[in-house]
Amino acid sequence: MTDCITSVYIISPRTKAIILKELTYYRSLIIEENRERKSLHKPEQIIDNSCLVYGSTLEGRKGAVRDILKTSSKLPIPVIPEMGVYMIPTASTKNKSCVWVAYHHIHSYQSHDQCTSIQFNDGSNLLANTSLNTFDMQYKRTSQIIVHMNRSFLFSRGNPSKRILR
């Protein structure tokens, strides 16, 4: 893996996770498919900048998700919904151990001591400081958002060739 520091990072479909690192030289460690990057910005700043690039704000995305889920804590964020990029927080954003994980990169997850081991599609792993039950709830809440945001496509009554479910 190559390693570089970037002042501005925009989330893409290659982004697997963003980890808060409050160090002197950088604030976030970003894990992509084939490399790691470091950013001068905190994870929420990266997510907000990325939402702006893709046509919304972090607050706008949070508002939509809040309305759908009827909750205001640990909200998954649809960063690039048209490309299936949804970021899942493993804890409250005020918690320094919060990791943002890209839903579409998750292959599976399981309990590992008091934490959750997340296996990505490419075979790599990430250990998140959250319980299996909490992560499972976050994963399922993100699934709810994905279905809600793609409802017209998934449950279309129009052209049968465009219908997935009846």
Residue 153 has pLDDT above 90, yes or no: no
Give residue-wise pLDDT tens across range 75-123: 999 999 999 999 999 999 889 999 999 999 999 999 999 999 999 999 9
DSSP of the chain: -EEEEES-----TTEEEEEE---SS-SEEEEESSEEEEESS-HHHHHHHHHHHTTS-HHHHHHHHHHHHT--SS--EEEEGGGTEEEEESS-TTSTT-EEEEGGGEEEEEEETTEEEEEETTS-EEEESS-HHHHHHHHHHHHHHHHHHTHHHHT-SS-GGG-S--
pTM for this predicted structure: 0.88
pLDDT tens-place string over residues 111-137: 999 999 999 999 999 999 999 999 999
